[in-house]
Amino acid sequence: MQAPTFRPARTAGFWLAAAIAVLQGVNAIRTAMDPQGFATYMGLPVDRLSALGWVQVYGLRAGFIAVLTAVLLARSDFTALRLMALAALMMPLGDAYLALNAGAGPGIVGRHLGIAVFLVVAAVFLGRAAARQGARA
């Protein structure tokens, strides 16, 4: 009996990684369209026009993450996506720390921590998808 064909789009890991790509793309667009509003959303409001450039630098990096995630998804490279999700934990954890030190409310800090939890869950499911993919190769 032949093993069933592995279909990446039928894995939770695929859709969690797709959500990462979309949400990072949205962040990139938001930083370009409303950098001051995005900074406030992140819990680090800016009060000087010169600081808005740094928000847009963040947006460029978010755009890069969105494109890289999409490329890895297109290649069905679940191992690389898993490692990327784990490495990306430094961002929401760092954001939570920075927002907390800036006096952001618990909702904003909690959102950053929630993103970290999402990345851990995504890494688990991406690891499962990589294992299934390897078993079928």
Residues of the chain with pLDDT under 50: none
Query: Contacts by 86-95 with C-beta closer than 8 Å and gap 24+?
Result: 86/119, 86/120, 86/123, 88/20, 88/119, 89/116, 89/119, 89/120, 92/116, 92/119, 95/42, 95/43
Domain containing 128 equals 11-136
pLDDT reported for residue 51: 81
Q: Does residue 130 form part of some domain?
A: yes
* C-alpha neighbours within 13 Å on the C-beta side of residue 48: 4
Q: Does residue 92 form part of some domain?
A: yes
Q: Does residue 5 form part of some domain?
A: no
Q: Does residue 6 form part of some domain?
A: no
Query: What is the tally of helices (H) and strands (E) in the chain?
Result: 6, 0
Query: Contacts by 61-66 with C-beta closer than 8 Å and gap 24+?
Result: 62/24, 62/25, 62/27, 62/28, 62/31, 63/24, 63/25, 63/28, 65/20, 65/21, 65/24, 66/20, 66/21, 66/22, 66/24, 66/25, 66/28
pLDDT reported for residue 79: 97
Q: Does residue 120 form part of some domain?
A: yes
Structure tokens at 4: 């069933």
Q: Does residue 75 form part of some domain?
A: yes
Answer yes or no: are the C-beta atoms of 38 and 55 closer than 8 Å. yes
Structure tokens at 133: 């993919």
Mean pLDDT across the chain:
93
Could you give the number of structural domains in the chain? 1
Q: Does residue 26 form part of some domain?
A: yes
Per residue in 38-65, pLDDT (tens digit) is: 999 999 888 887 788 889 999 999 999 9
pLDDT reported for residue 47: 81
